[in-house]
Structure 1
Amino acid sequence: MSERVQNRSGQGPGKAERRLAAQLAAKKAAEAKRRRQSILGALAGLAVVGVLVGVFVVVNQGDDDSSEPAATAPSAEATAPAEQPTAPPAPQLPAGSDPALKTKPKVEPGKGELKKLAVTTLIKGKGAAVKSGQQITTNYVGVFYKDGKEFDASWKNGQPATFPIGVGQVIKGWDQGLVGVTVGSRVQLDIPGELAYGNDASGGRPAGPLRFVVDVLAAQ
């Protein structure tokens, strides 16, 4: 009996050790499997992140490529030809007027010393004579008598000037020189300084003798 017991007891520890070793091996295998799964999961996550980053970069590059031409391409406004300045519209002329009144006259300088007002009819109009106190509408060019340099003209903006005549609202040379002129006329007024703005140049206005060419377009 004791020998059998001894034999069993001798075999018992061997089986227990094998069982324990098997359990440890299984446990190690399970842990190794979990580690492999964890590593694979991490690698898969990194792969997904890498794909997303790649897609994001590609999309951004695509956006940059598509937006860059729009930012640098010239606009239609930049490539369109610049609008050319247009000439002022021709003035409305009274019926039967000379077509030359549609064009700005070229005014030459005077000759010699100007001592008194001189009115020269360049184009004779067919309308009524201007009366003192009337509102007249005119186109005009004003130059210095001595050198012909222009200092004023209604033609610059295409708008004729309207004002009362013969009542002191304009220079004396106009008040005296335009009363009696017929509508539709173009006249040249050579005005000495004392009948214009004076002979003193310090006031900022054109000083000395002046020459005007005036078109009388209306009077009422």
Structure 2
Amino acid sequence: MSERTQNRSQKSERRLAAQLAAQKAAEAKRRRQAWAGGLAGIAVVAVLITVFVIVGQGKDDSTDQAASTPSAGASAGASAATSASAAPAGAGAPLPAGADPALNTQPKVEAGKGELSKLVVTPLIKGTGPAVKKGQTITTNYVGVFYADGKEFDSSWSRGEPASFPIGVGQVIPGWDQGLVGVTVGSRVQLDIPAELAYGNDASSGRPTGPLRFVVDVLGAQ
């Protein structure tokens, strides 16, 4: 074999070896990519399973917590004497122990009759709890209407939660301060309030004017 022929043969062998090496490298790369893809898929599945487990546990925890937590509408002003197993009132607060179940139902409030010149407190349901004292924070459900025509202007029932506030210390209208001190917890009372003990007669104030009528359920006092 001549030297030239030998050189050509060696070059052919080197090219063939290079091609074989390239093919092997390409196959190895494909295998690595396939493994990487498989591992990535496994990792995604593992992450999804973990997320589902965590979400499921969160739902279970939320359900357990909701079952053991008092109604979110119950105010911090509810009486300590309120029974934990009492039926929930219609506007989101538990009734006091031994309270009349009628307090679960929103009262129908009608217009007053005649001229109203002084505060009139009319018991509708007599509660068996302690009497409200000046300075206590009371929890109530209430409906407020205009005395003259019975048109409703405010209601805790429509908001789905009771209202709590200090009583007898000027934090509410005088008709409430004067009319609710001494009322027993668990009571429903009707307050007919002349304008001077309510919001007055100034229509520009944006508040209900003239004589007003409220029906108030006293759910707690502390």
Q: Rate the CA distance shift 1:206–1:152 in 2: closer, same or farther, 3 A.
A: farther
- Deviation readout 1:59-106 (Å, 9 max, x if unpaired): 465467667888999x7459x7x989x6735346555432333x2523
Gaps of 5+ in 1: 1-24
1:57–1:152 CA distance, 2 compared to 1 (3 A): same
Offset of residue 45 of structure 1: 2.2
Map Cα deviations across residues 100-124 of structure 1 (whole Å, 9 max, x no partner): 33x2523434255663333221102
Work out the CA distance in 2 between the residues paired with 1:203 and 1:67.
65
DSSP-derived class of the 1:46 partner: helix
Rg bigger for which structure?
A: 1
User: Is structure 2 residue 116 aligned with structure 1 residue 115?
Assistant: yes
The answer for the alignment partner of 1:88 in structure 2 is 73
Match of 1:171 in 2: 173
Give 2:143's aligned amino acid.
G
Cα gap change, 1:108 to 1:67, in 2 (>3 Å): farther
Cα distance, 1:47 vs structure 2: 0.8
Aligned with 1:45 (options 5, 21, 45): 21
Q: How far did residue 147 of structure 1 move? A: 4.9
**DSSP-derived class of the 1:30 partner:** helix
AA matched with 2:197: L
Q: Which residue number in structure 2 is paired with residue 106 of structure 1?
A: 107
SS at match of 2:3: helix
Aligned to 2:82: none
Q: Is the Cα contact below 8 Å between 2:143 and 2:157 reproduced in 1?
A: no
> Are the structure 2 counterparts of residues 200 and 92 from structure 1 closer, same or farther at C-alpha, using a change threshold of 3 Å?
same
Task: Supply the AA of the counterpart residue of 1:43.
Answer: Q
The AA in structure 2 aligned to 1:55 is R
Alpha-carbon distance between aligned partners in 2 of 1:186 and 1:41, rounded to the nearest angstrom: 101
2:195, 2:110 → 1: CA distance? 15
Relative to structure 1, the CA distance from residue 68 to residue 125 in structure 2 (aligned partners, 3 Å threshold; closer, same or farther) is closer
C-alpha change, 1:204 and 1:53, in structure 2 (3 Å) is farther
1:155 deviates by 8.7
Q: Does the CA-based 8 Å contact 2:190-2:213 persist in structure 1?
A: yes
Deviation at 1:156, TM superposition (A): 4.7
Alignment partner for residue 191 of structure 2, among 189, 192, 200?
A: 189
TM-score, structure 2 normalization: 0.61
> Superposed, which structure 2 residues align to 1:11-90 within 5 Å?
25-59=1-35, 62=38, 76=52, 88-89=73-74, 90=88
Deviation per residue, 1:143-162 (Å, 9 max, x gap): 23245435242895756524
**Uncovered stretches (5+) of structure 2, i.e. residues with no partner:** 75-87
Give TM-score, length-normalised by structure 1: 0.61
Cα offset, 1:187, TM superposition = 0.2
After superposition, the Cα gap between the structure-2 partners of 1:195 and 1:72, relative to the gap in structure 1 and judged at 3 Å, is same
SS of residue in 2 equivalent to 1:50: helix
Letter in 2 for 1:100: A
Q: Identical aligned pairs, as a percentage? A: 40
